[in-house]
């Protein structure tokens, strides 16, 4: 059964550094999402991506963040100048319609 994959599973970075989190959505899906979940808190929507552009973003998704779909399979989230409070699990999700979202296993980002 097709799955969303994410790399790396765990990323440790120093405050102020840039990180790129990578996702490979399920191959025939058209809708892509990034979420984050701070330890012990609720899942938070960051951004959605459809038809090669951002379709919606949350207040969290400010100039520090960017997304890209550089080719037909990858979907990346870049976080510039990381802060301590960016430490969280980052989940990528995809769906072939708006009626479903399948999550990847997540990347645990630790900012020290």
Partner 1 sequence: GQNIDQPTEMTATEGAIVQINCTYQTSGFNGLFWYQQHAGEAPTFLSYNVLDGLEEKGRFSSFLSRSKGYSYLLLKELQMKDSASYLCAVRYTGGFKTIFGAGTRLFVKA
- Separation CA 100–CA 2 (nearest Å): 14
Q: Are 65 and 109 in contact (CB under 8 A)?
A: no
Question: At closest approach, how far in Å is the CB of 101 from partner 1?
Answer: 6
Assigned token pair, 52: 């090669």
Choice between 69 and 105, CB closer to partner 1: 105
Question: At closest approach, how far in Å is the CB of 28 from partner 1?
Answer: 16
Choice between 18 and 69, CB closer to partner 1: 69
- Separation CA 23–CA 13 (nearest Å): 18
Q: Which of 11, 20, 22, 45 binds partner 1 (CB under 8 A)?
A: 45
Q: Does 11 bind partner 1 (CB under 8 A)?
A: no
Q: Which of 7, 13, 66, 103 binds partner 1 (CB under 8 A)?
A: 103
- Classified as helix, coil or strand, 86 is helix
Question: At closest approach, how far in Å is the CB of 59 from partner 1?
Answer: 10
Count of residues that interact with partner 1, criterion CB under 8 A: 22
Q: Name the site residues for partner 1 (rule: CB under 8 A).
A: 31, 33, 41-45, 48, 50, 55-56, 58, 91, 98-106
């Amino acid at each position: 059964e097709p799955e969303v994959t994410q790399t790396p599973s765990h990323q440790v970075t120093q405050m102020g550094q840039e990180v790129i989190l990578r996702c490979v959505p399920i191959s025939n899906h058209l809708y892509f999402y990034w979420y984050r979940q701070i330890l012990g808190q609720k899942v938070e929507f960051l951004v959605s991506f459809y038809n090669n552009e951002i379709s919606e973003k949350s207040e969290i998704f400010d100039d520090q963040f960017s997304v890209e779909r550089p080719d037909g399979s990858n979907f990346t989230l870049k976080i510039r100048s990381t802060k301590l409070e960016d430490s969280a699990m980052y989940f990528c999700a995809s769906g072939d319609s708006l009626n479903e979202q399948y999550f990847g296993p997540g990347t645990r980002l630790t900012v020290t």
